[in-house]
Amino acid sequence: MEKLMIAGGYPLKGTVRISGAKNSAVALIPATILADSPVTIEGLPDISDVQILKGLLEEIGGSVDFADNDMTVDPSSMISMPLPNGKVKKLRASYYLMGAMLGRFKKAVIGLPGGCHLGPRPIDQHIKGFEALGASVTNEQGAIYLRADELKGARIYLDVVSVGATINIMLAAVRAKGKTIIENAAKEPEIIDVATLLTNMGAKIKGAGTDVIRIEGVDQLHGCRHTIIPDRIEAGTYLILGAAAGEGILIDNVIPQHLESLIAKLREMGVNIEAGDDQIFVSPAEKMKAVDIKTLVYPGFPTDLQQPFTSLLTGAEGTSMVTDTIYGARFKHIDELRRMNASIKVEGRSAIINGPIRLQGAKVKASDLRAGAALVIAGLKAEGITEVTGLEHIDRGYSHLVEKLNGLGATIWRENLTKEEMEQMKNA
Ligand code: EPU
């Protein structure tokens, strides 16, 4: 096991290229199950979630070739093998195997998903959708059993706007008989990306990116090539880093429209942003003003950037408030930021941050993926050395993080945990 070592205080500048979107990748890969000939996805990120999904497709009989960020999946010899345990528990997005396997085989057994611990993360809306399409869904010893004689299109109103449920119902419905209408659907760019792949495979989908998605079921789907969208959360993380510890960073391969809420907030703080077609240049404010943010579904401020943004706010002048309306308990990074001298208190779903504070390097632990990004940003602007453990969370979502940061002039490296640290981790 490794930890991340960061020597803080070096000003960062240069160009960073953004990888393919993690939250698209984890849905696009399972979506290939629905085809009957090879599908190629170009530009996937080098992250552990992608490797785990590759292994899961191989477990069910798929042939997968993954090199230079492009993955070709031949799904023709896949079978509906039960996956109650093992790799499925390692990532939240393994729930997309439910929709995709149900859509193709009319049956699936998938262990309840793992992933980041952000408080309760139910999947009742996914199940409501599968049942509306005619599947029986039962929970037996920690695995979800899905069976249907036939899937029939239905009108499904989501009680909660959910990215996962919207995509999972799309996956199950594209090969169902007749018309499915998903109302109160989520509108995130990743949903459009998945709909684009499915459409290239021959599916009939209208309205992805709006809150009503209409799907006309087809009997079969075929192979195709698809290029993934850039990762708006990775791009947002580097934008925040550029504001916190940069001297002018150019973010390349980004869709600026996907980050409008973040860009607006950064500008409100006084940060300089110039957005082009597929690039954004960021340089710090002379004096950063405190702001309040509230996370919302897209196109509101993304919950996935709330934690990194909190690290930035420690350097702003005045009191800021961060409220997470999506995951009210996504605050495990706060105790760690406090170890680094931040002045933050948590009240209910909000964190209240007083600044500006000079952060100090410390030994901290990433409890989840975006908490990890928050601590890396804090470490890069802090005085002295910061050690971040819990690297396995960061590796789930940030492609070549160390190389990209060193390319910007950071001093950051991976080190093996000492025996003592391993013991401490085991007992924690
Ligand atoms: N919810 C329900 N019932 C459901 C589904 C969701 O009550 O059946 C609630 C959740 O508890 C949450 C809200 O609805 O309060 C939104 O959850 P959503 O289903 O949209 O989240 P998700 O699909 O499980 C994806 C991303 C998350 C991101 C959220 C919100 C993937 C694999 N994950 O999760 O990404 O935070 O949408 O935008 O796409 C991350 O990248 O760090 C990450 C956690």
Structure confidence by residue, pLDDT tens digits, 381-427: 999 999 999 999 999 999 999 999 999 999 999 999 988 888 877 77
CATH of domain 2-19+230-427: 3.65.10.10
Residue partners of 306: CB distance under 8 A and separation at least 6:
293, 295, 322, 324, 330, 370
> pLDDT value at position 241?
98
Distances (CA, A) of 357 to 237, 317, 319, 340, 382: 20, 9, 11, 10, 10
Q: Which of 88, 121, 296, 306 to mutate to test the pocket of ligand 1 (most atoms within 8 A of CB)?
A: 121
Provide the 8-state DSSP code for 369: H
Q: Where are the beta strands (DSSP E) in 350-405?
A: 350-355, 363-365, 385-389
Q: Say whether 257 counts as a known binding-site residue.
A: no
Q: What's the gap between Cα 256 and its chain centre? A: 17
pTM value is 0.97
pLDDT of residue 79: 96
CA distance 313 to 329: 19
Instruction: Report the Cα 46 to chain-centroid distance in Å.
Output: 13
Evaluate: CB of 304 within 6 angstroms of ligand 1.
Answer: yes
User: Per the annotation, does 324 bind a ligand?
Assistant: no
Express each pLDDT in 226-280 by its tens digit: 999 999 999 999 999 999 999 999 999 999 999 999 999 999 999 999 999 999 9
Q: CA 154 → CA 98, 103, 135, 174, 204, distances in Å? A: 18, 14, 12, 12, 15
Q: Is the pLDDT of residue 91 over 90?
A: no
Instruction: Quickly state the pLDDT bin for 120 (edges 50, 70, 90).
Output: low
Q: Return the domain boundaries, the chain.
A: 2-19+230-427, 22-227
pLDDT digits (tens, 9 = 90+) for 71-82: 999 999 999 999
Q: CATH number of the domain at 22-227, out of 3.65.10.10, 3.30.450.20, 3.40.50.11810, 3.90.1520.10?
A: 3.65.10.10
Residue 424 confidence (pLDDT): 79
Question: Is 224 noted as a catalytic residue in this protein?
Answer: no
**Separation of alpha carbons 2 and 390, rounded Å:** 8
Q: How far is the CA of 111 from the centre of ligand 1 (A)?
A: 18
Predicted local distance difference test score (pLDDT) of residue 419: 86
Average pLDDT, the chain: 96
Task: Give the chain's count of helices (H) and strands (E).
Answer: 14, 23
Count CB neighbours of 320 within 10 A: 24
The reply to whether 2-19+230-427 and 22-227 are identical in fold is yes
Determine the pLDDT at residue 85. Answer: 87
